[in-house]
Amino acid sequence: MPSGRVLHINAVGLMAELEESLEPSLRRRPFVVANERLARAVVLDVSALAHREGARPGMSLAAARALLPGLAARPPRSELYRDAEDRLWRLALELTPLVERAGRGHLFADLTGTGRLNGSPDDAAQRLRSRILADTGLSPALALSSTKTASKVATRVFRPGGFVALSTAEEGPLVRRQPASLLPGVGPALLRRLALLDIDDIGGIADLDDTRAAAVGPRGRELVARARCVDDSPVDPRPLGSRSASAEAVLEPDTADPETLRLRLLSLSAELAFSLRREGLGFSGASVSLGYTDGLRASASACSGRRLWRDDEALALALEALGRARTRRVRVRSVALTLSRLGAASPELDLFEPGESRRSRLQSALDAIRLRYGSGAIEPCALAELGAPGPSGAIRW
Q: Where are the beta strands (DSSP E) in 202-316?
A: 244-255, 281-292, 297-308
Q: Is the pTM of this model over 0.95?
A: no
Q: Are residues 332 and 262 in the same domain?
A: yes
Q: Are residues 23 and 50 in the same domain?
A: yes
Q: Are residues 252 and 352 in the same domain?
A: yes
Q: What pLDDT is stored for residue 385 in this prediction?
A: 55
Residue 356 lies in a domain: yes
Interatomic CA distance for residues 171 and 150, integer angstroms:
6
Residue 307 lies in a domain: yes
Residue 102 lies in a domain: no
Q: What pLDDT is stored for residue 307 in this prediction?
A: 85
Q: Are residues 275 and 220 in the same domain?
A: no
**DSSP type of residue 201:** B
For the residues of 14-67, what is the DSSP string, one character each? Answer: HHHHHHHHH-GGGGGS-EEE--TTSTT-B--EE-HHHHHTT--TTSBHHHHHHH
Q: Are residues 214 and 251 in the same domain?
A: no
How far apart, in Å, are the Cα atoms of 388 and each of 219, 260, 269, 355? 26, 12, 18, 35
**The domain containing residue 223 runs over which residues?**
177-227
Beta-carbon contacts of residue 289 (< 8 Å; ≥ 6 apart) = 248, 297, 298, 299, 325, 335, 336, 338
How many structural domains does the chain have? 3
Instruction: Say which CATH number the domain at 198 has.
Output: 1.10.150
pLDDT by residue for the chain (397 residues), tens only, comes to 445 699 999 988 889 999 998 899 998 999 999 988 887 888 889 998 998 888 888 788 999 999 999 899 999 998 898 899 899 999 999 999 999 988 778 899 999 989 888 999 989 999 999 999 888 888 899 999 999 999 999 998 987 788 999 988 999 999 999 998 888 877 766 788 888 888 989 999 999 888 888 777 766 888 898 899 888 888 888 877 778 889 999 998 999 999 999 999 998 998 888 878 766 678 999 999 999 999 999 999 999 988 888 889 999 999 999 999 999 989 999 999 999 988 766 433 322 233 345 566 676 667 667 666 665 666 676 665 555 444 434 443 4
Q: What pLDDT is stored for residue 377 in this prediction?
A: 64
Interatomic CA distance for residues 391 and 397, integer angstroms:
14
Residue 233 lies in a domain: no
Beta-carbon contacts of residue 102 (< 8 Å; ≥ 6 apart) = 108
Instruction: Say which CATH number the domain at 244 has.
Output: 3.30.1490.100
Q: What pLDDT is stored for residue 320 in this prediction?
A: 96
Q: What pLDDT is stored for residue 352 in this prediction?
A: 29
Q: What pLDDT is stored for residue 347 in this prediction?
A: 38
Q: Are residues 184 and 209 in the same domain?
A: yes
Instruction: Say which CATH number the domain at 70 has.
Output: 3.40.1170.60
Question: Are 194 and 200 contacting, i.e. CB atoms less than 8 angstroms apart?
Answer: yes
Q: Are residues 250 and 361 in the same domain?
A: yes
Residue 111 lies in a domain: no
* Burial (CB count <10 Å: 0-12, 13-18, 19+), residue 260: middle
Residue 135 lies in a domain: no
Q: What pLDDT is stored for residue 364 in this prediction?
A: 64
Asked which of 38, 57, 77 is the last residue of a domain, the reply is: 77
Q: Are residues 275 and 361 in the same domain?
A: yes
Question: Are 234 and 214 contacting, i.e. CB atoms less than 8 angstroms apart?
Answer: no
Q: Are residues 384 and 295 in the same domain?
A: yes
How far apart, in Å, are the Cα atoms of 107 and each of 6, 92, 287? 10, 8, 29
Q: Are residues 22 and 53 in the same domain?
A: yes
Q: Are residues 215 and 288 in the same domain?
A: no
Q: Are residues 298 and 253 in the same domain?
A: yes
Q: Which residues pair with 335 in a beta bridge?
A: 249, 290
